[in-house]
Structure 1
């Protein structure tokens, strides 16, 4: 069982050492890790919305730094922008994204196997991406705009009902989670149900506070749900993405493969957008100029959204890369077999990109951020995410121009150790000051 109380540092280090030794004896399997060694957690921790000062010091001193050794392999952290882009854009002959080498597949059902675009290499990655890329072109996505607007309008109406009399509204529950969840369910062709359970599973998929145990357990549940959804639609394809892929590629794709593709879309399409909407609303409510820009013109909306994406960078780490040969990144020599984690958050604030990037400035000319990754593993749904953020934040700012925070940032419960950063609840008041009711 995971530990329920903090351990003294020396004891915890001994426990980690013994656990890793046992894990190596049994074979490399991240599923067996109950918690991450402290040395791995630096890029997953924040001070409010900002990276820890220690992370930015690492960037200044060693933009490519060896964090530790795990399973006999060096683990590196890349935090500089240029160095991060080098790794993310690296050729498949040099870098592997295959996480399966760290996870034993023995005794696992097909539903529990490791896969997905972010954790596969060519040629499998190329094959999987070809099914999705045509569905996420700007032309195809344009047809979703009316539906997104309708979903946002519905959620704004629900928020107004919840805020009658000036009551505080939990923006995470009523808006930030509900909008992307409904959008992605419509996109895939899934019924919108079990919202609370999927909120829990979505958070668990990125929560590393229990090491690999919680992550892989939650993954099995959501994959199983979506594989069953594919099975149900195989004889009668629905109107969404699952149905479209079944009609066009049904003979090529078995239920498990298509369920895995849908799982990747579902996961990437709602948890990250939910965090962006919640934290983005926090910044907008704290910055009147951002609200005015969202209510003005499309060009201003684009500028605000791009700055939010860069500054918040809710996806804190890119998928791990593994060196297939010795390779130099910056001044560091990465040896064959080493693992490399890229801090997208730190890279987006690299002073080499421009001045004062530690602040949120909606008037700033867009900075070439890495929030969606780079290279062949760049997020396939990046433009859909932008469309959701532009629509939802603009309509929120127009509907509730006096929206304010119901508490201080110190009162918020931020996720402590998650690859996708977020907040559990965000109390807001829709009309500014609290209105007394009779």
Structure 2
């Protein structure tokens, strides 16, 4: 029995040991760093079954972490009020309902011109500064950071503060006290922001939640923290890693340039192919459950490997090939079931706009360093690259 494989031979592929597990079957015993013995799911059908089954809990106090974390595993407490990602119904349903009312089609569609303007402004700045550039700092990180600021009503001048603190909170090799300090700083940031929004409401998501009158300040602060961390770190890493992927798959990039209408399919395929949630989702069995002929005992943690499921050959033909002509629908990049990502449509819009604009503006874009010099985010909970030097 082994720990969850994390070592990658190729930056765009899941670990080879994980792919071998997937080839051998849908469920495998898994050792956890704290000594717990659970399971890892590597097939799409089994993953979707677990994520849609109420007998498997998302509550953080019941789950074990499949990777070493700076905060450790000792007696995890229930999620703080508002941190709905680690809650089950009916409490999760309560928060989800309130947030769904804020993630309206109108609000998301209203952001499209701003996403286009923000993207254009950053490409203008790249062009003025000249070649080379770091596509992470100059493009992939600032665009979703500014978009999430607009959605939540966070002053963009505060971006450096929250970018630093969220990055520290997601590091796997950080000192425990540094992670605690980062989370404390982020909490204090939202204490101030919620107080400001109560006094001076705007046309943003936090102000809308406050106007609803159903949430305490503590709940609003936690929801704000969660949405901020999830809303810019994930999209930023998809933009950077996806851009590198396109540069290393010139035939697919050429197809996209020849047919700009292909961008929707390209985004879905990149989401499937890259799967940046590298450690997957964790669920705890609330009772004994038979799954694909295997008994999952009550209390055991099941890790749903999103990278493995999204490369499942029983779901996708030739799954290790990037192919914009395929139907990538049904991938798990945004999860499945009641916890499916609330902001997925906004993330899709950002990727469609940003990828299209980047490669239209810089038709000669190329890497400025060899592949092996690009630092991978294997030390982070969300996979991607720390830097992506490019020339144009």
Distance 2:281 2:382 in 1: 12
State the Cα deviation string for residues 325-355 of structure 1 (Å, max 9, x = none): 0112223211101111111011000111132
Larger Rg: 1
CA contact (8 A) 1:89 1:374 kept: yes
Distance 1:103 1:230 in 2: 31
Structure 2 residue aligned with 1:30: none
State the Cα deviation string for residues 248-271 of structure 1 (Å, max 9, x = none): x2x321111011111121111100
1:253 has 2:215 as partner: yes
Structure 1 residue aligned with 2:67: none
Distance 2:32 2:251 in 1: 46
1:315 Cα deviation (Å)?
1.3
1:161 Cα deviation (Å)?
1.6
CA contact (8 A) 1:78 1:84 kept: yes
1:227 has 2:191 as partner: yes
Structure 2 residue aligned with 1:380: 342
Alignment CA distance shift 1:231-1:383 (3 Å): same
Structure 1 residue aligned with 2:66: none
* Match among 24, 48, 53 for residue 16 of structure 2: 53
Structure 2 residue aligned with 1:68: 31
TM-score scaled by length of structure 1: 0.81
* Match among 326, 340, 351 for residue 313 of structure 2: 351
Partner SS, residue 171 of structure 2 = coil
CA contact (8 A) 1:44 1:418 kept: no
Alignment CA distance shift 1:218-1:61 (3 Å): farther
Distance 1:114 1:50 in 2: 37
Alignment CA distance shift 1:182-1:315 (3 Å): same
Distance 2:99 2:53 in 1: 22
CA contact (8 A) 2:103 2:343 kept: yes
Distance 1:229 1:366 in 2: 39
* Match among 83, 96, 101 for residue 46 of structure 2: 83
TM-score scaled by length of structure 2: 0.90
Partner SS, residue 157 of structure 2 = coil
- Supply the RMSD in Å over aligned alpha carbons: 2.5
Structure 2 residue aligned with 1:286: 248
1:317 has 2:284 as partner: no
State the Cα deviation string for residues 125-180 of structure 1 (Å, max 9, x = none): 111111111222433311111111111011111111222xxx31000000000000
Distance 1:137 1:98 in 2: 27
CA contact (8 A) 2:4 2:31 kept: no
1:43 Cα deviation (Å)?
4.5
Partner SS, residue 323 of structure 2 = coil
* Match among 94, 109, 113 for residue 142 of structure 1: 109
Q: Counterparts of 1:89-128 in structure 2 under 5 Å? A: 89-91=52-54, 94-101=55-62, 104=75, 113=80, 116-128=83-95
Partner SS, residue 135 of structure 1 = coil
1:303 has 2:265 as partner: yes
CA contact (8 A) 2:273 2:311 kept: yes
Return 5+ residue gaps in structure 1 as ranges.
1-37, 431-438
User: What is the aligned length?
Assistant: 382
